[in-house]
Amino acid sequence: MQKISMTTPLVEMDGDEMTRILWQMIKDELLLPFIDLKTEYYDLGLAHRDETDDRVTAEAAEAIQKYGVGVKCATITPNAARVEEYRLKQMWKSPNGTIRAILDGTVFRSPILVKGIEPYVKSWNKPITIARHAYGDVYKASEMKIPGEGLCELVYTSADGEVSRTPIHTFKGPGIIQGMHNLNDSIENFARCCFTYALDTKQDLWFATKDTISKQYDHTFKDVFADIYENEYRKAFEEAGLTYFYTLIDDAVARVVKSEGGFIWACKNYDGDVMSDLVATAFGSLAMMTSVLVSPDGKYEYEAAHGTVQRHYYQYREGKETSTNPVATIFAWSGALRKRGELDSNPELEAFADRLEKATLDTIEAGQMTKDLALITTLKAPETLTSEGFIGAIKKRLQA
Ligand code: NAP
Ligand code: MG
């Protein structure tokens, strides 16, 4: 059989624990037999990050800037226990945080829908993609406990020494305050990422804040989105038959639940944190969520939304059978291959990505799945397979 060729490499970022095992199986069984796979390989496994003083993470991000498309395996974000377990030189930062900071991107999370795994909300028959702004607000806030009577103010001192003040509250007794910020640049980048990704995936874009109450802060988000839409994207949206829709966050929540899905919901940092877990759970399974980081200048990094599945890895190391779901990791590969095909005008590669996804979903719909799905499926008498068995079943369909 003639293998599909590639012209430009994908940036491949290997990772940790159970997902590292799945990564190799996916390559060996589902990719290498069919594609003349070209990748530039970066080992983001924790041991290698430690060896390179985490330079490998920055180098991988720079390679994504160069080539435009990357695919990443889940990685350990070290905590105190991991520092001991891997005898690390230091508690290295989250690789995802490092890559996101270098690409200045926005993360889009979408569920993979398949017959037999039904969303809790009956009307949702298309995916809802959450775009979370990943800078500032309460995540970079300063806070204080106010011990008693006194005045709290916001004070701004300009670079040339001019001072302006706004009262927050005159306290009569103890209380609390919080000061948070955001940057016009960051909000603009967020808006451009969202509009670009909406056009790219041909979906409407929703955005919501609480601008009626927060007349400066949230209203700035609303205005930035509106200006960028009018000046840079309205024409392309109209030509593509897409809409940009702004509403209040409480109205958005009500509409989302009554919707059929099929749109991108852009959220401020905190809203995105909360709503992405709500949407992921309501769609059925964390193991079926994909994630793509998109930079404002159109670079893409694909991965699964879940972690390294540590508990399964420890069983694997003891020689026990595991039934870990590889679907989100397979879709990270198919997403990256499709994007690479699109950018390189390589329709065969794009078609392969479609076939890989179809083979995966057909396997589940035929009743063959991993344990996490077998536990929640509405299909009668599902067959529970090991990780290897499931990947093998997908391979059979792919070959056929
Ligand atoms: P996790 O790896 O997402 O797993 C949490 C639990 O969810 C698992 O124990 C498993 O439940 C279930 N699960 C998740 N993915 C699954 C899959 N593909 N198939 C079957 N079940 C799945 O989260 P964690 O255990 O909290 O974190 C482990 C490590 O991952 C941490 O070191 C963390 O830093 C890292 N992490 C990395 C990323 C990333 O790179 N993007 C994201 C999150 C976490 P059962 O045990 O009940 O079967
Ligand atoms: Mg959260």
| Residue pLDDT, tens place only, 283-304 | 878 889 999 999 988 899 999 9
Pocket lining: 286 vs ligand 1, CB cutoff 6 Å: yes
> Mean per-residue pLDDT for 63-92?
96
Dump pLDDT digits (tens) for 346-391. Answer: 999 999 999 999 999 999 999 999 999 999 999 999 999 999 999 9
Pocket lining: 357 vs ligand 1, CB cutoff 6 Å: no
Write out the two tokens for 31.
């990719």
Provide the whole-model pTM: 0.90
Quote the pLDDT of residue 130: 96
Tell me the three state secondary structure of residue 278.
Answer: helix
Pocket lining: 374 vs ligand 1, CB cutoff 6 Å: no
Q: Note the ligand closest to the C-alpha atom of 75.
A: 1
Q: Running DSSP on this structure, what letter comes out for residue 287?
A: G
DSSP result, 134-195: -SSGGGG-EEEEE-SSEEEEEEEE-TTS-EEEEEEEEESS-EEEEE----HHHHHHHHHHHH
Which residues is 132 bridged to in the sheet?
A: 107, 267
Pocket lining: 287 vs ligand 1, CB cutoff 6 Å: yes
Write out the two tokens for 119.
């969303």
Do the beta carbons of residue 316 and residue 42 sit within 8 Å?
A: no
User: Which of 44, 289, 290, 309 should be mutated for ligand 1, with most atoms under 8 A from CB?
Assistant: 309
Quote the pLDDT of residue 136: 87
Write out the two tokens for 35.
């594609």
Query: What does each C-alpha distance from 71 to 177, 301, 330, 332 come to in angstroms?
Result: 42, 6, 10, 6
Determine how many CB atoms are found less than 10 A away from the CB of residue 155: 9
Quote the pLDDT of residue 345: 97
User: Which of 72, 109, 308 should be mutated for ligand 1, with most atoms under 8 A from CB?
Assistant: 308
Beta strands in 24-136 (DSSP E): 39-43, 69-72, 106-111, 128-132
Q: Note the ligand closest to the C-alpha atom of 98.
A: 1
Q: Note the ligand closest to the C-alpha atom of 139.
A: 2
- Which atom of ligand 1 is nearest to 372's Cα? 20
Q: Whose CA is nearest to atom 33 of ligand 1?
A: 76
Do the beta carbons of residue 149 and residue 171 sit within 8 Å?
A: yes
